[in-house]
Amino acid sequence: MEPLLELTIATFGPFYEDSFRSIVGDAIMANQHGTWREDYREMWVGLHDPQNNKHVVVVEDGDMLLGFVAWKINQDKRSGEIDIIAVADDQRRHHVGTALCTHAFEAMKNADVDVVSIATGGDRFHDAARAFYDSLGMTALPLVRYYMTL
């Protein structure tokens, strides 16, 4: 569990500490994501729960963690959602993310899922993620979330 948490923090820490904080400021950062590290620790509890249609796949090379993907399935809607995907920094652009998504998509297809979704940010930090999802043939639906301190 600890290596998965470490990869999660290494992957998304720059978003929270650099991108998100610089966009919204310290007050909103503290309010919305001031405990982001602990939030990820809690997220990992129960993230893999096949009896409740939640799955995690990990890619390793020997003792080295290359990446992971987690997804969930809503069988009533025949839809799936990738909750989180992360690839070690030195493994990016080596098709690890593609292999992870391909595996998740195939598992969902085998579970009679018709539609899959994934969410990501519209900020610069997420430029590479958006380009990656585009390359997988996914269709973007732009959304905007506004913040303001009172």
Q: How many CB atoms lie within 10 A of CB 46?
A: 9
State the pLDDT at residue 133: 97
The yes-or-no verdict on residue 126 having pLDDT over 90 is: yes
d(CA 89, CA 65): 11
CATH class held by domain 2-135: alpha beta
pLDDT reading at 130 higher than 90:
yes
> Which tens digit of pLDDT belongs to each residue from 131-141?
999 999 999 99
- Residues 6 or more apart from 63 whose CB is under 8 A from it? none
1 compared with 11, residue with greater pLDDT: 11
Instruction: Please state the rounded mean pLDDT for residues 30-49.
Output: 95
pLDDT at 120: 95
pLDDT at 41 over 90: yes
Q: What are phi and psi of 122, to 5 degrees?
A: -100, 5
Q: Residue 27: is its pLDDT beyond 90? A: yes
What does the pLDDT read at residue 1?
Answer: 87
Label residue 102 by pLDDT band (50, 70, 90).
very high
pLDDT of residue 9: 97
